A and B are shown apart, each in its own frame.
Chain A
Amino acid sequence: MKMNELEKLVNEGVDQLPPLERRTFLRAGFAITGLFLGGSILSLTSVRTTQAAVPGSAYTSGAYPYKPHYSMVMRQNLCVDCQLCMDACVKTNHVPDYGYRTIILEQERSIGENAQETIFIPVLCNQCNEPPCVRVCPTVATYKDKTHGIVVMDDKKCIGCKTCMAACPYNARYFSEERRAVDKCDFCLESRLSKGMTNTACAEACPAHVRVFGDLSDPESEVYKLVHRPETVLWVLRPETGALPNVFYMNDTVA
């Protein structure tokens, strides 16, 4: 049936439409619309999140808003949970035993009948481009530094409401009794980077070179090369939050 013929028809209205037919029509409509918007209606998530869920898609343009754009790549499958990174972090940043700035999560995965493999997942503050913690802070005690994009704390402004801790998708914040403020990973900005060092304590301590730290805006840096390596699956944790994290995960071979 052609469009001009269709237009000549009298509108029957929907009053006489059987419920099943109406439902089928609506479902088809939603499915098509949903598909169009990258699942944004049916999955109730935003379009931007969907982009973030596709590995690397938000970043492969090569444009990074900060200079240097600090970032970390985790060569995840090489992590063996020796926790030397955690030890180094505690020592370098004086982290109390009731909190942590970085942690290693563990996941069991079946690799066949009665066989399991363990996946260790190092996690730290993802220094997100759209940090949920910054958005919720009522006193601007935590903010994204305009130069290097590290999410930092202004201890004096922190009122200890812990809203940022609830907002963080990565559980990367804790309240420090000593500082009387929320504490978090700052890519060793205070303890090392500001003193001229170029690597974080955790990355330096890692014996398997799982953690690779560097400037994503520098095409010569190792992080840049890893993030842009062809035929590589690169992912981020909890992309659905739309936080656009700067910590990337990949599996790699032993160098």
Chain B
Amino acid sequence: MKGYKNVLLALSLTLAVGFAGTTFLVADETKDQGDAAPPAQPVATTPSLLDYLGDTKVISIEPVRQMFSHRSHVVEYKLACSDCHTDIFERKWGAARDKGDYTHADAFDQGRYCGVCHNGEAAFATVGEDNCMRCHDSSMSAPDTIYFQKPVRTVVFEHKGHVDMGLKCGDCHMQLFDYRVGAAEEQPEEFIMQALYDGKYCGACHNGEAAFASDTRCTTCHIGVRGDVRRLARAADKNKQNAQ
């Protein structure tokens, strides 16, 4: 995928040398269609305007892809280069991310990076129920229920239940939990009860004050292997019914 984009970028660059902006776009599209798909190149995705020169697409592998549209900021909102560079962002790929503070809690909420403008006044805020998807795109889908399988089987988390309770995305993400599916389970030695007692993960609220303490009512979340087997059986039954 990345290689394909690089090829396109190079192609666009070459073409852009001789043509005006609008022309090269048309020319490029024509060329794309005329090529009759060489076997080496994947053809599944239609390249969008964002893939071409003039819009440096910022791809953040973690936590989600395609968070920032450079084009919309430059073309639609007519921001000058100096508006953001280099006071807010360095002119270097991944520089902000490498600093380690390129997060909601550490930066945006304190009016740094995107948060300089995206504060709810100059531009839409970086928090709020309706705003998450504006940057995080459709790669974000809120699950109803999460079943953790590590470090022990099986812990249930009612994601929808917590959202319906009035919690906002930013209340748990990214400070306590990554957005990425399975992120907490990737560190099973960290994701343990002691961490919860220390106020991490679920323990931030489940401390006996905001919500029931995480060293009580074990089986509220721990449905066990039996509970998991029953769930899988229920899901299988449902699939069977749907198939019929």
Which residues of chain A have a CB within 8 Å of any CB of chain B?
A: 77-84, 104, 106, 117-120, 207-208, 253-254
Contact = CB atoms under 8 A, between A and B. Distances in A.
Nearest to A253: B215
Contact of A82 (B215, B220, B222): B222
B226 A81 contact: yes
Contacts of A78: 218
A118 B152 contact: no
A159 to B, nearest CB: 35
Interface in B135-156: 151-154
A82 B153 contact: yes
A82 B224 contact: yes
Interface of B: 151-154, 193, 197, 215-220, 222-227
Contact of B224 (A77, A120, A207, A254): A120
15 contacts: A79-B218, A80-B152, A80-B218, A81-B222, A81-B223, A81-B227, A82-B225, A83-B153, A119-B219, A120-B219, A120-B226, A207-B152, A208-B193, A208-B218, A254-B197
B215 A118 contact: no
Contacts of A118: 219, 223-224, 227
A117 B215 contact: no
Contacts of A79: 218
Contacts of B218: 77-80, 208
Contacts of B215: 253-254
Given A77-B218, A82-B152, A82-B222, 6 more contacts: A80-B222, A81-B222, A81-B224, A82-B225, A104-B224, A117-B219
Contact of B152 (A84, A106, A120): A84
A146 to B, nearest CB: 38
Nearest to B215: A254
Contacts of B154: 82
Contacts of B226: 81, 104, 106, 120
Contacts of B152: 80, 82, 84, 207
Choose among A77, A104, A119, A254 the residue with the greatest number of B CB atoms under 10 Å from its CB.
A254
A192 to B, nearest CB: 23
B148 to A, nearest CB: 11
A127 B217 CA distance: 30
Contacts of A82: 152-154, 222, 224-225
Given A80-B152, A84-B152, A207-B152, A117 B217 contact: yes
Contacts of A254: 193, 197, 215-216
Nearest to B218: A80
List 10 A-B pairs, minimum CB-CB distance, nearest first.
A81-B224, A80-B222, A82-B152, A254-B215, A118-B219, A83-B225, A80-B218, A106-B226, A82-B153, A81-B226
Nearest to B221: A80
Contacts of B193: 208, 254
